[in-house]
Structure 1
Amino acid sequence: MTQVAQQTIAAADLPERGQPLAGGIFVTRYWLNGEERALVLLDDELSGEWGEYGLDVPGSKNYSDGEANTRAMAEAGSEIAIKALELGAHIPSCLEGQLLMAAKADGLVTLRNDRLHWLSTQHSAYSAYGMGFEDGWLSGSGGKSSERLVRPVRSLPIR
């Protein structure tokens, strides 16, 4: 069942970075597709394959828009993407993953260091990007059928 999540937030209502917001922790403000947004890291942790190895997923190569990537993944049958969307969230893009790493480095969020996390940005029909949150290592060589972690995020338009 899909959770109903907060859809927007007024700039005046934004908490300090690292504080609770929309069912998670407020990470930072950023711009996406010409719109200022608030990135929120959820506590949920998912595990699974990115998608089918060898299948090129149209619409999943966006470096910044994790929600668009996650929707494309779900349409192609990715179970982990479907789970993220059911939470009213998405799998972070490469940009969103780097923003999460910056928040971790600033001591605002906790992310597991022991396993590579999937990002929603596809690298090729055979691989997708992943990030190691121990040191911010971004990898484009993760075989899409490998099981990895996902920490879903929400991206709220700031009004």
Structure 2
Amino acid sequence: MTDIAAYAIKPLVQFLDPKDLPARGQPFAGGTFIDRYWVNDQERALVLLGPEHEPSGAWGEYGQDVATHYIDGAANTQAMAEAGSELAKKVLALAAHIPSCLEGQLLMAAKHAGLITDLREDRFYWLSTQYSALSAFIMAFEDGWQGYGDKGCERLARPVRSLPILQ
């Protein structure tokens, strides 16, 4: 049996002081600061890791009902790893997660604003939000389209970090 705790996201910080956040699009926490947003009752800072951290692979766990959060990509990625997803395990090893549908839209908004320029437009990226037991959401950063694809297909995943902000 696999030790699932080995794949848990290790926090980089306890809480960020809001005054320590850079401007959107600036380097921060090993990536690029994208925006502030809320997950459940906690304000968070979304950080996009660079393209050198883009693993490719199947979402995995075809036929299993795994993760369904539209907002919490960290919880989704953890659930994917616990179900056996090799892609999720690779991303968690970076102290990061696969973006949820909402986090994907925040990335697209930052791209549209010219804050990030290194998201590939010729490929679909996995999101961590499951569509069904057979498919999961994907995103095209050419135009911001979100749809779904077969969990067994090979696609890129662009890791992000979601860091808690002191309230």
Q: Aligning the two structures, in what range does the TM-score lie when normalised by the shorter sequence?
A: over 0.9
* Residue aligning to 2:77: 70
Whether contact under 8 Å (1:5, 1:22) holds in the other structure is no
Change (3 A) 1:113 1:26: same
1:35 to 20, 26, 42: 42
Q: Are 2:12 and 1:6 aligned?
A: yes
Give deviations 1:38-69, integer Å, cap 9, x for gaps.
00000111100001222221xx1000000000
Give deviations 1:95-137, integer Å, cap 9, x for gaps.
0000000000011112100000000000001000000000000
Q: After superposition, where does 1:97-116 map in structure 2 within 5 Å?
A: 97-110=104-117, 111-116=119-124
Q: Are 2:146 and 1:138 aligned?
A: yes
2:68 aligns to what SS in structure 1?
A: coil
Whether contact under 8 Å (1:47, 1:149) holds in the other structure is yes
* Residue aligning to 1:48: 57
Q: d(CA) in 1 for partners of 2:159 and 2:122?
A: 17
> Deviation above 6 Å: which 4+ runs of structure 1?
1-4
* Residue aligning to 2:29: 22
Please report the TM-score for the alignment, with normalisation by the length of structure 2. Answer: 0.89
Give deviations 1:61-108, integer Å, cap 9, x for gaps.
000000000000000110110011000000000000000000000111
- Counting aligned pairs with the same residue, the percent is 65
Q: d(CA) in 2 for partners of 1:124 and 1:90?
A: 20
Q: d(CA) in 2 for partners of 1:42 and 1:119?
A: 15
- RMSD over equivalenced CA pairs, Å: 1.5
The count of aligned residue pairs is: 156
Give deviations 1:24-47, integer Å, cap 9, x for gaps.
000000111111110000011110
Q: Which runs of 5+ in 2 are unaligned?
A: 1-5
